[in-house]
Amino acid sequence: MRRALAILLLCISSIKAYAQPLEFTQPADATEASPEIIGGSKAIMANWPATFVFTATSGEHCTATAIGPQVLLTAEHCIRGAANGTIKASGIAVQCEAHPFHNSNYDIALCFTAARIVLAAGQDFETIDLKLKPADDTRLSLLGFGCISRGGVSGVLYEGTSVVKDATAQKAVFFTTGGVSVCAGDSGGAAYQPGVGSSRRVVGVASAAISGQNDLSRFTALANGPTIVFFEDWAGRQRDPKTGAVIPVEICLVDKDHADAPADCHI
């Protein structure tokens, strides 16, 4: 991730560029395209098997996270104008839909795959938390396929930590400062709140970098009413294109009512 020069959407491209199909890739190791963070360290891909990078034909990068056997989570501004794509290795079709509010406070999108996503070595999908908005001074782990220095090249997975700031200023977003910061290419990358041992929960999605304010990074929080409604509505509308039958959508999640999840979710 890099230090931004202004309030900057992290995926820089035109609407025309994203009229092209998206292509999702799972990098095999750090010598290939993998996620990055400004001030972070190179991540071990085996520790983050559910992290994808995707590009339009224009070459811009964004980051996505598999949060269920057929579900990818990313940023709304990454898929604007191009809601369809494929997973490169398998050729599985992907259809993405943005949060209906279409603004920077709800910079989030969900993508449904036509078949099950297969992760390396049968590893688990990431779990989201729809009831936990991180409090001020909470240290989060950030991940993304962006650059690691101003003007740098994106495309290698990096990770690092940063501290939450102004979590209560807006219900739908939170900011992080200090440690690592986000950069073009990190859009859609997950912010993780660590738990006990190796447990972790996705609590936000990378949206923008803000300079001149101690390198603030902005995230869309998952634990807010309109976003929870979006998840529920979206999951209920996925249908088989041939039969029109509703497809049960499995999402690794924790919410206010239950903690249901497929068995293959990261605890």
pLDDT, position 2: 34
Return d(Cα 200, Cα 186) in angstroms, integer.
Answer: 19
Read off φ and ψ for residue 106, nearest 5 degrees: -130, 55
Place of tokens 């989030």: 108
pLDDT, position 214: 52
78-101 per-position pLDDT tens digit: 887 557 889 987 899 999 999 998
- The CATH code that applies to domain 138-221 is 2.40.10.10
Beta strands 51-55 and 22-25, pairing class: antiparallel
pLDDT, position 60: 67
* Rounded-to-10 torsion of CA 176, 181, 186, 192: -50
Token digits of residue 45 = 């891909």
Kindly write down the DSSP assignment for every residue of 177-203, as one continuous string: ESS-B--TT-TT-EEEEE-STT-EEEE
Say if CB 188 and CB 75 are below 8 A apart.
yes
pLDDT, position 197: 76
pLDDT, position 44: 72
116-149 per-position pLDDT tens digit: 998 877 789 999 999 888 999 999 988 877 655 5
pLDDT, position 229: 94
Say if CB 172 and CB 263 are below 8 A apart.
no
Please list the rounded mean pLDDT of every run of 10 residues in the chain (267 residues). 36 42 75 50 76 69 91 89 80 92 89 90 89 91 68 58 81 84 76 86 88 74 93 91 88 64 72
Beta strands 84-87 and 190-194, pairing class: unpaired
Token digits of residue 175 = 């900011």
Return d(Cα 25, Cα 141) in angstroms, integer.
Answer: 22
Q: What is the pTM of this model?
A: 0.84
Q: 2: closest CA among 264, 210, 257, 261?
A: 210
Return d(Cα 46, Cα 33) in angstroms, integer.
Answer: 14
- The beta strand positions in 109-255, using DSSP E, are 109-113, 128-129, 139-144, 158-165, 173-177, 190-194, 200-210, 216-221, 253-254
- Spell out the domain ranges in the chain: 138-221
Say if CB 103 and CB 227 are below 8 A apart.
no
- What is the number of other CB atoms lying within 10 angstroms of the CB of residue 119? 16
